Chains A and B, each alone.
Chain A
Amino acid sequence: AQSVTQPDIHITVSEGASLELRCNYSYGATPYLFWYVQSPGQGLQLLLKYFSGDTLVQGIKGFEAEFKRSQSSFNLRKPSVHWSDAAEYFCAVGAPTGNTDKLIFGTGTRLQVFP
């Protein structure tokens, strides 16, 4: 069965520091991978997605992620974190079945940013 693991429940970084959020997936076919961000009291906003092609994908707000098939990973990175990046981050794998699209989400990583 498809699954997504985000090993880090909570990460704290200083503003200006680099960031890497980990995501590992389990999926039998070529995965379709997403990173979403959720600010308090808000819905989820798509940061970036991987469907095929270049394994390094660029997203909004200066985020990027790299798909590594050999490691079943899709880690999210940002070279310099801003205080406004404090939020919860969710990795998801797309699991289409017939005409239905499903997303399997990880449990999320809460990012705290210190000034």
Chain B
Amino acid sequence: ETGVTQTPRHLVMGMTNKKSLKCEQHLGHNAMYWYKQSAKKPLELMFVYNFKEQTENNSVPSRFSPECPNSSHLFLHLHTLQPEDSALYLCASSHPLAGGPGGEQFFGPGTRLTVL
């Protein structure tokens, strides 16, 4: 596998379910990101991890719980979601340049989440 992979690609869940999204990057990057992409809205940055440490939580509701056990893996645990949480969830990774901006972010194909 190369690049950034995400599983599952599609997920349908009820509001009382608990599920997890998985992201894996094979690029040797140190930073990983979760984004939410909803129709007609800009990509929303949710979480940022740098060297496994969470460096950004963009006021995301607690029903979304990220986990980054190592620099290659990122999870998003979901529980008691709402229908408005239905969206495409994108994972990305990058290798930050020391003392400057990050390099470009490499994106996975996304997980299409539908909450019933």
Segment touching A, from B13-21, B43-51, B77-85: B43-51
A20 to B74, CA, bound (A): 36
A96 to B6, CA, bound (A): 25
Q: How large is the interface on A (under 10, 10 to 19, 20 to 34, 35 or more residues)?
A: 20 to 34
A43 to B33, CA, bound (A): 13
List which B80-98 residues lie within 8 A (CB) of chain A.
90, 92, 94, 96
| Cβ A100 vs Cβ B104 within 8 A | no
* Interchain pairs with CB closer than 8 A, number: 63
A46 to B50, CA, bound (A): 21
CB contact between A96 and one of B100, B106, B109, B110 (< 8 Å): that residue: B100
Interface of B, secondary structure class, is: strand
Is there a chain B Cβ closer than 8 Å to A32's Cβ? yes
A98-B55, A99-B55, A100-B48 given; A42·B101 CB < 8 A: no
Interface residues of A (CB under 8 A from B): 4, 32, 34, 36, 41-46, 49, 51, 90, 94, 96, 98-103, 105-108
Interface residues of B (CB under 8 A from A): 4, 6, 31, 40-43, 45, 48, 50, 55-56, 90, 92, 94, 96, 100-102, 104-110, 112
